[in-house]
Structure 1
């Protein structure tokens, strides 16, 4: 409570300093006060992340999240809907229980990869074996029958479970250098081991399951204490399970030394047929220019190792809170303010690409797109994305933002258009002025991006409040701006081959995903 009170006092001090020597805008002041004293971010975060949970495309939780958001917007008097744009393979996560039962007993930290097949209600026990180091693909073909009835360990043994910064803080320079060399040598050797099979890390699991393996065990360490990245399975009949670095290393070392570890696995999950994929759209209709659009953008889907808190629960919460505030203090915008919560961003910006493809009448009249999608931190970077005049209108809108928030933001104009990475790129490719509100890291890459640790407790709500204020003020200013934004593009730089780089081209979405026919 004390920390929140101090935050409120500091924000109100900012409001006072803004008003001194310049005419205060009552809407801007109202935005700041509402975000400060009546924030709903914590409650929205609890409902979305703790109650609904992760939002893997094709999962029941994704549909539940869409229904929840529509209901939440309705409670604020904002029209909202879900809009189907395709289909995806349905899948529902169940309990994963994995134990080592020989040479001694230990419960292991592991979870199924997304879309992994189950063990069909049974507990399966078998030896865990290594992918061996053999001469070539012919040798691997001779070895292949030995995987029948076994679990196969298919990831490299990490030489250390300590992140690099922990080594830097404590190791001697010589020791740190030696660790880095050892890890690089092992990485190169493991890639060569995979290459010699004649397959890739993506295609090999299917080959092993066809040869009779009972399951694939991997460990995708995220280079942070306790953090593993959880992506999708490459098997269709047997389970694929990610094991924590610590427990995977135990199995690997036992198998390598000939002690034949045995693993017991029960993996419950449900695979369905094709289920709808959708975007969740809400809007506050414009009073003077209803056919021109200010778009707030954040993807709604997530991977499901954690609950998708910082990727992209935080972007979602920021945009929802901004919309709530705007509806309360600025209920009759000049231009329509639309929010898009996109589906299947994680598989290739599919939801936003579908929206761009399906709604040319909106895209041609976009005033601006403001997108947030890289963690819980306060916004610290804003690029002009290659629009020549972006410094003019973005600069004017930012001028209304409190100094304590605006001064954190480093701007780059005109910048270079982003070719992917998040949903603003879908609009950018269509020529619309779309911008990424890029955040301070908070160890995003190692600890929460696509990991099992991406959970509610990693959210920094003070930074989210700043982002909601920034977003709401910029949306307000964009709506009020008497002029439409310029869409003039910069001359793109030359490549090393002497050709001019192209502007990113629009791409169609995958409207039938996850392997459905």
Structure 2
């Protein structure tokens, strides 16, 4: 009799389990299909991109535009019924870009394509007009110190003149093989010679502008060519008194050739930037509070700041838009998640992952209860790879979550498990360093490294909308699956392989502290 009762109970229990699993699977499929439908048929990506990238523009840390962008994001989230806030974590050098103009005024008149570098001093409401000279090739640092007074009142060219403004791909397509190889060989010699020229000054590319600044140079002129047509990398200035500008290759080489030929070209620079003193720096945080496990977290991660040579559309406007749109959709389709879903829009990633590092330092109670972090930060392309970041069992849960992603998206993604833990590059690394399961949703290139990464061409028109919608669908589904998963993710680490260069076993990345006083020390 007992045996019969036991068997009867087992069959009933199994029936309940199978029915429950069927209901759960059916519920999953309905929610996932609704996510796909909302992302496809009611996408808000384009209006969001216009408001963020066209209207607000670049989001350099320490600028009013960074704060304006945060206020805009918070207002959007609140319109969608999502809690959001600014969370201060440090101070930064405040600065605001103003009207700037660079012109050659002798031996002929020509407006030049160029950009004042971030945090560069202004020309104080006037035009700084002076002769352009080339950084000399001196014998040693003693000779350079003797030459330095010659920089007073001059604009000094501190970058190599490039032998070609064409990309290597363009050369490869049209040049003869012999011509292509000859150009590359000559360029390699020129690059080595310029590096040696800098070295002999006794300074580095960082300290040289300061030396020129200290003797009263009219300005420092660079060209950080990005190896593509009309594209330069735009970073920060190292000068405190004179303006620093980057001039596009076509115009930079013109000035260089003229100076080299003894034409004594003169340029006029007007740069109306403002030093705003010390300002707060911050992260912008939004969240959907969990219902069953509110103290466990799924984090959607993207840095909010950008360099300001352009509008930061693909670095990291597209990552920002992906996370905002994913959370908007989740609020509409899945308003009561089991775990808390948090979006971190980090500040000052570009200066060393500072916002996410500060968050990790300031919120151990969150970090110790992270279910997963999904970070996107390498351009506009569709996600094509996910690494397990060295977490031994990541294959089990990440692969399981991915099974619910549509084939058209999932089949284009290569997974690597357990993978190697990332020590930098983007904000997921801040979490990996403290043992939290964080994953980079790595994208198809679209020539990101050449044409949009930190460049003067990182603008709205470079966005690939189909790829971006795919990334929204992927992110929202992964967040949903991670939130619903009955199990807590494993943090077990794999045994890392031997480094063939050192013969020693690779080590897990160490946690690094955030710089909380940028540009002020």
Q: Does 1:199 align with 2:203?
A: yes
Larger Rg: 2
Q: Secondary structure at the match of 2:272?
A: strand
**Pick from 495, 509, 512: which aligns with 2:514?**
509
**Pick from 242, 246, 252: which aligns with 1:248?**
252
| Off by >2 Å, runs of 4+ in structure 1 | 495-499
Residue 109 of structure 1: aligned partner? 113
Gaps of 5+ in 1: 1-21
Partners of 2:261 and 2:456 lie apart in 1 by 30
Residue 55 of structure 2: aligned partner? 51
Partners of 1:397 and 1:93 lie apart in 2 by 44
Q: Secondary structure at the match of 1:450?
A: coil
Deviations 1:441-490 (A, max 9, x none): 01100000000000001001110100000000010000000000010000
The root-mean-square deviation of aligned C-alpha atoms, in Å, is 1.1
Residue 21 of structure 2: aligned partner? none
Instruction: Provide the aligned length of Structure 1 versus Structure 2.
Output: 496
Residue 421 of structure 1: aligned partner? 425
Deviations 1:157-216 (A, max 9, x none): 000000000001100000000111111111000000001111111101111111121100
Q: 1:497: Cα distance to partner?
A: 3.5
Partners of 1:64 and 1:306 lie apart in 2 by 17
Q: Does 1:459 align with 2:457?
A: no
Q: Secondary structure at the match of 1:70?
A: helix
Q: 1:96: Cα distance to partner?
A: 1.4
Q: 1:499: Cα distance to partner?
A: 2.5
Residue 174 of structure 2: aligned partner? 170
**Pick from 260, 275, 280: which aligns with 1:276?**
280
Q: 1:145: Cα distance to partner?
A: 1.1
CA contact (8 A) 1:96 1:110 kept: no
CA contact (8 A) 2:91 2:516 kept: yes
Q: Secondary structure at the match of 2:227?
A: strand
- TM-score scaled by structure 2? 0.94
Q: 1:498: Cα distance to partner?
A: 3.4
Partners of 2:100 and 2:428 lie apart in 1 by 36
CA contact (8 A) 1:372 1:436 kept: yes
Partners of 2:390 and 2:266 lie apart in 1 by 56
User: Aligned ranges for residues 62-73 of structure 1 at < 5 Å?
Assistant: 62-73=66-77
Q: Secondary structure at the match of 1:126?
A: strand
Partners of 2:491 and 2:148 lie apart in 1 by 57
Deviations 1:331-381 (A, max 9, x none): 000000000000000000000000000000000000000000000000000
Q: 1:415: Cα distance to partner?
A: 0.2
Gaps of 5+ in 2: 1-24
Q: Does 1:488 align with 2:492?
A: yes
Partners of 1:135 and 1:499 lie apart in 2 by 41
Q: 1:432: Cα distance to partner?
A: 0.2
Residue 81 of structure 2: aligned partner? 77
Residue 238 of structure 1: aligned partner? 242
Q: Secondary structure at the match of 2:281?
A: strand
Q: Secondary structure at the match of 1:426?
A: helix
Q: 1:265: Cα distance to partner?
A: 1.1
Q: Secondary structure at the match of 1:118?
A: coil
